[in-house]
Structure formats: C-alpha cells, structure tokens
C-alpha cells in the first residue's frame, strides 16, 4: 500500500467514493507513520489538512506550526517553506500542543489538483475548465501576483494554470489558489478513472482522455488500472486529439489515518453523507457525538457538499470523532478600499466605516510593492489599500469576519460587494454604506449583460447581492461608476 506523504495523496482525501457508485465510507486510506511522541514540552500526534493562512512558521486551520526542523515536499520532491504560497492546500504532520493553537511540524506536503491549459472561462458562473476538469472560483480563492487583475478576469483561455483546492462531492475542484505557470510546465491531473479502455490503454478523468500506453504505472497492486481508481496522471502535453499523453500514472488512496487518539484537523467538503454520525469529510470517515460543538450552524446544516472544518481524535476504527464542527458559509462580502483605522490589539480595522475583524483562519498576503512576508495586522496602517473578502459575523452585527486580506498598491478605485439593505430611487445601502447610483455609467446583470438604469433598479431589492465600483465620497458613502448584480457562489 502506498505510504507516501505526498500531497497528491492529500488531494485524494477530497474524493467521493460515490463517484464510482459505491456506498459506505471511502474505499481507501492514506496510511501514515504516526509522528514520534514529543521529546519535550506538551503535545500529541497531530495531522492538519487545509489552506496556508500565513507564514512566520506556518499557520493551517488556525494552528501555528513551528517548522524549524520540518521537511517540505511538493509533488514528491523536496522543497522549502519559501516555495509555499498563501492559499495552497497542505498536509502537516507533527505534534499539536494542548493549547490547540500552536504545534511543531515534522512534515509539510503540498501538491496541486490540476496543472494545464485553460480550456474555457465563465465569469458570471465563476468557473473555468482546466484539462477537462471543472474548477469553481469563489470568494475564498487566492490569485497569485502573476494574475492581473487578481480575479478570474485575469485568467484567459490558453493560460497554463496551477490550481490548488478541494474536491467537492461531484469530483469538481473548488479552487483555493490559482497561479499562472510558464509554457512547458508538466501537465498534471488528479481524479477518478472512468471509461477504461485497457485494449487501447486509455481512460477518462471527467472529460479528459488519458493515453497511458507509454506511461509508468506506480503503486497499482495488480499492476493494472481499474475503473474507479483515484489516480494522478502526469504528461508533457496533449496529442492532436486533445488526449493527455501520460508518462506516469500513480494510484492514490483516500482518507487520513493514524494511531488511536491522533488529533486531526481537516477542512474540506462533506463528500459522503448518511447521517450526522456517519459521513466523510475529504474522504475521511467522521462521526459526531452529543458533546460535539457546532460553529457557524447546527447539526441540521450538515449534508452533502457542505464545507466544514472538523477537529477531533481518531478512534480505534480510524474514524474521526468530532469535538468541533465548523460549518463554513459562503463569503459573499468583498471590499477594496483605503483603511480608515487599525486596532491591531483587537485584530480589527475599519474601511468605509465598516469594521472588519480577523482571526487565526484569516489569510494575509501582501501584494503591494512593500511585499512584507509574513503580513500581519500589526503591519497595517491607516491609508493602506486593502482588498478583503469575508462574511458578516455575527449575523446582523454589521461586522465582517475576513477570510482573505490582501494589501495592494494604492488605486483610486473603491469596491464594495454585499447584500442590499435598502433601495431608494437610485440610492442603495450595503452594510451601512450609502451608494449613489445617479451618475452610474454601467449597469450589469448577473450574466454580465448590460442593463439600463431602470432595468437594474427594477431587479434590485432588499437582500440582492450587488457589487458597486466607483470612488469613496466619505467614510460611509460611495459614488458608483458601475453597479452589477452578482450570484452568491
């Protein structure tokens, strides 16, 4: 059985066994050698799977791991911490201190879900296709500095991109980070084998056909590929028919395992759901108990394709017994503006009169010329130009809990996206910010089609999701040059 700690195995955590028509828990597990017991201090064996939030050591799922003695691996090759980027999905193995906010990493592994040419881009739906794989882009997607603008609008058909993210229950990719790679970069895709044609050495991964006639097969117990296998396929390019000419096909396994009482913190989608006491997160079997704590929702909110972070210990059967389930809601609020004030001690700041709070899960990234790494709230000042994505928390408070905070070089453009609180004539209010649409020159519908002013305001109502782009008139007012209805992704 494959005991590699490559993150290619991590990525398969997010594989849904139902894709192959199976019921019950996932069909395989990543077998890992539990880290040795700590030689000093207080700690226990632990595994964390999630996006990198920031550095200065490494922060994953709210835990800051000391990495002085850690080994780093990307796609099976040795790397360093400096090769990692905010938003990349990693697997950390080591020890977690009893305070649950610090730990020591022994290994950190990373890999991408897919690397290849963009086949199509759908801006209104927030998705693209890469090597035949459907990729969803949303408020929690980080974009590398080499993508401008830093959004899906900066990605074009034909670009070679590397996508790190999560698989959902349908086997599609929900992007956590996207980076453009140079032409000639090795192509790579992870997914479930279907439509196997052994006679012609071909199979499909979603809509991509893989030709493995010249490929080296790795870790297949029988020496042969089967439908339903979860694999990583690599190749230098596509043939004239658009098929990936694979040089390596590797069998990958599903799920996290370890010794009894290993502490696991895993973020991902619920990829199999029978009940609240029998479901998979990222391919790892999970159960809840009466003492399980829920944040961001209740037990009734659990279900297929719900994004969660689960914390708990493995039992004797390798099932993760959840101490806490954090239900991750959509992060629809977005603001790009100048900082009015910063309360570093309180972990908050104000833009457009809106209070934005940060926590241990907030991703910080400096895209300005200052290029501070790691960027923290202590580095921010009034007058800085930030883009923040998040959601209102607590609900009804008017405060936004930041999921992603990026500092950028100054621009006069101000942007606010959120849910409409009131509409009066050509004026709308979002999160207490009054937006004047009387001089707006461009109105768009959710599909980017152009609307007249009358058509737009006939469609807008309370709770409509609207993006306003323009200039800041005062601390709590904007003059909009463009108003656009948005889909909540």
Predicted local confidence at residue 488, as pLDDT: 74
In a domain, 68, yes or no: yes
Distance of alpha carbon 38 from alpha carbon 54, whole angstroms: 25
Distance of alpha carbon 359 from alpha carbon 347, whole angstroms: 7
In a domain, 247, yes or no: no
Smallest CA-to-CA distance from 469 within 337, 367, 338 is with 337
Predicted local confidence at residue 489, as pLDDT: 62
Smallest CA-to-CA distance from 60 within 83, 91, 106 is with 91
Q: How far is CA 353 from CA 345, 356, 438, 460, 476, in A?
A: 19, 9, 22, 23, 5
Distance of alpha carbon 90 from alpha carbon 10, whole angstroms: 8
Q: Are residues 399 and 419 in the same domain?
A: no
Predicted local confidence at residue 138, as pLDDT: 86
Domain range enclosing 450: 414-485
Q: How many CA atoms lie within 13 A of 136 on its CB side?
A: 15
In a domain, 254, yes or no: no
Domain boundary (377, 408, 439) is at: 408
Number of domains within the chain: 5
Smallest CA-to-CA distance from 332 within 184, 465, 188 is with 465
Q: Are residues 475 and 418 in the same domain?
A: yes
Alpha-carbon dihedral 67, 73, 78, 83, rounded to 10 degrees: -70
Domain boundary (126, 153, 180) is at: 180
Q: Are residues 291 and 343 in the same domain?
A: no
Distance of alpha carbon 321 from alpha carbon 326, whole angstroms: 14
- Residue 400's domain is classified under what CATH number? 2.40.50.320
Q: Are residues 428 and 373 in the same domain?
A: no
Q: Are residues 345 and 386 in the same domain?
A: yes
Give the length of the chain.
489
Distance of alpha carbon 252 from alpha carbon 27, whole angstroms: 11
In a domain, 380, yes or no: yes
Predicted local confidence at residue 18, as pLDDT: 35
Predicted local confidence at residue 79, as pLDDT: 95
In a domain, 82, yes or no: yes
In a domain, 428, yes or no: yes
Q: Are residues 373 and 421 in the same domain?
A: no
In a domain, 61, yes or no: yes
Please, what are the averages of pLDDT over each run of 10 residues along the chain (489 residues)? 39 38 35 36 77 90 92 92 93 88 93 96 93 93 92 96 94 95 95 96 97 96 94 95 96 84 92 95 93 91 91 95 86 92 96 94 93 94 96 83 94 94 95 94 93 95 94 94 87
Distance of alpha carbon 357 from alpha carbon 204, whole angstroms: 45
Q: Are residues 351 and 400 in the same domain?
A: yes
In a domain, 376, yes or no: yes
Predicted local confidence at residue 10, as pLDDT: 42
Q: Are residues 124 and 159 in the same domain?
A: yes
Q: How many CA atoms lie within 13 A of 237 on its CB side?
A: 5
The answer to whether the CB of 305 falls within 8 A of the CB of 37 is no
């Amino acid at each position: 059985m494959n005991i590699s700690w490559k993150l290619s195995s991590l990525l398969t955590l997010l594989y849904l066994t139902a894709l192959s028509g199976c019921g019950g828990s996932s069909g395989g597990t990543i077998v890992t050698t539990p880290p040795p017991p700590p030689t000093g201090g207080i700690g226990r064996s632990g595994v964390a799977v999630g996006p990198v939030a920031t550095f200065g050591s490494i922060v994953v799922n709210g835990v800051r791991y000391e990495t002085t003695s850690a080994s780093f691996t990307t796609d099976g090759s040795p790397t360093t911490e400096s090769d990692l980027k905010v938003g990349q999905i990693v697997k950390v193995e080591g020890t977690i201190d009893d305070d649950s906010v610090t730990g020591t990493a022994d290994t950190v592994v990373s890999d991408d879900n897919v690397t290849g040419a963009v086949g199509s881009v759908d801006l209104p739906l927030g998705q693209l296709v890469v090597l035949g794989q459907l990729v969803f882009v949303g408020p929690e997607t980080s974009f590398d500095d080499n993508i401008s603008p830093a959004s899906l609008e900066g990605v074009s058909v034909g670009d070679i991109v590397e996508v790190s993210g999560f698989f959902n229950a349908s086997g599609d990719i929900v992007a956590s980070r996207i980076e453009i790679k140079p032409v000639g970069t090795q192509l790579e895709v992870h997914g479930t084998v279907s439509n196997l044609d052994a006679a012609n050495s071909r199979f499909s991964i979603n809509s991509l056909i893989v030709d493995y006639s010249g490929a080296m097969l790795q870790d297949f117990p029988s020496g042969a590929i089967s439908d339903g296998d979860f694999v990583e396929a690599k190749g230098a390019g596509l043939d004239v028919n658009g098929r990936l000419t694979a040089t390596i096909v590797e069998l990958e396994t599903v799920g996290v395992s370890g010794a009894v009482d290993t502490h696991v913190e895993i973020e991902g989608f619920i990829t199999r759901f029978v009940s609240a006491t029998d479901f998979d997160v990222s391919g790892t079997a999970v159960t809840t108990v009466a003492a399980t704590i829920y944040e961001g929702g209740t037990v009734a909110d659990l279900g297929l394709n719900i994004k969660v972070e689960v914390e708990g210990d493995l039992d004797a059967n390798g099932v993760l017994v959840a101490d806490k389930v954090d239900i991750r809601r959509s992060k629809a609020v977005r603001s790009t503006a100048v900082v009015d004030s910063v309360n570093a001690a309180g972990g908050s700041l104000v833009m457009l009169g809106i209070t934005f709070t940060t926590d241990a899960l907030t991703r910080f990234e400096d895209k300005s010329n200052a290029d501070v790494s790691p960027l923290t709230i202590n580095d921010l000042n009034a007058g800085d130009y930030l883009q923040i994505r998040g959601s209102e928390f607590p609900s009804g408070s008017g405060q936004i809990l930041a999921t992603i905070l990026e500092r950028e070089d100054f621009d006069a453009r101000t942007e606010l996206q959120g849910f409409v609180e009131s509409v009066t004539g050509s004026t709308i209010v979002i999160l207490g910010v009054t937006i004047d649409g009387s001089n707006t020159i461009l109105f768009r519908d959710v599909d980017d089609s152009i609307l007249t002013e009358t058509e737009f305001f006939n469609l807008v109502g309370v709770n409509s999701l609207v993006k306003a782009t323009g200039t800041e008139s005062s601390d709590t007012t904007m003059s909009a040059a463009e108003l656009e209805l948005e889909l909540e992704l």
